Chain A
Amino acid sequence: AQTVTQSQPEMSVQEAETVTLSCTYDTSESDYYLFWYKQPPSRQMILVIRQEAYKQQNATENRFSVNFQKAAKSFSLKISDSQLGDAAMYFCAYRSYLYGGATNKLIFGTGTLLAVQP
């Protein structure tokens, strides 16, 4: 079974600085997706960034980028130029790359609560 581990329950960053959130996972599959979701207080959980395991290039979305190390099974999220609106709970998630049939549900880590200091 696949597992996702986020070892940082809480992180803090100064506004305009850069922060990296850690995520490791365990799987025997070769094809899969990895995601970072963000949930601001009392708001919907939204997708921040996704990475296909077969792609060597790290995904980027504006100020958000990942460092995907497939061999090490590591998938960290870097937030550059942090803004107050980045304060949220961040969840790392794994999803199998299935070709139909059974549910390819998301498997989540425990989350990292990010605080942004003005």
Chain B
Amino acid sequence: EAGVTQFPSHSVIEKGQTVTLRCDPISGHDNLYWYRRVMGKEIKFLLHFVKESKQDESGMPNNRFLAERTGGTYSTLKVQPAELEDSGVYFCASSQGRQSSGNTIYFGEGSWLTVV
């Protein structure tokens, strides 16, 4: 069974440009999460989808970030326009079934974003 896959694995863009990160969760997983780790700091929650609906987007830093999950399958996270402080690793994760504390969350390898 395929795990959580993310694309691109690495991206270097200039300040002011746009980047779109993609996440394919494990098949059948209704819950999809985005997290971000700025270098040297903790991994922070960005948002949570249940199928195609945003359950919680309290971690989104500002309106330059837009996440979508059309059809409840894969998700995209767009940063427009990118700023230097957006550099970091963006993790996607998924879990199955009805939201439950006990369900294991599976992570992807992360998308490394560098804004120069």
Contacts and interface: CB of A to CB of B under 8 A. Distances in A.
B74 interface: no
Interface SS of chain A: helix, strand, loop or mixed? loop
B101 A95 contact: yes
B107 A103 contact: no
Interface in B92-107: 99, 101-102, 104-107
Nearest to B59: A105
B45 interface: yes
A45 interface: yes
Given A37-B107, A43-B109, A110-B40, A104 B33 contact: no
Interface centre among B3, B9, B105 (most CB of A within 10 A): B105
A39 B104 CA distance: 16
Interface of A: 4, 33, 37, 39, 42-47, 50, 91, 95-98, 100, 102-111
19 contacts: A33-B101, A37-B107, A42-B9, A42-B109, A44-B4, A45-B110, A47-B104, A47-B105, A50-B104, A102-B56, A103-B99, A104-B101, A106-B105, A107-B42, A108-B35, A108-B42, A108-B44, A110-B40, A111-B43
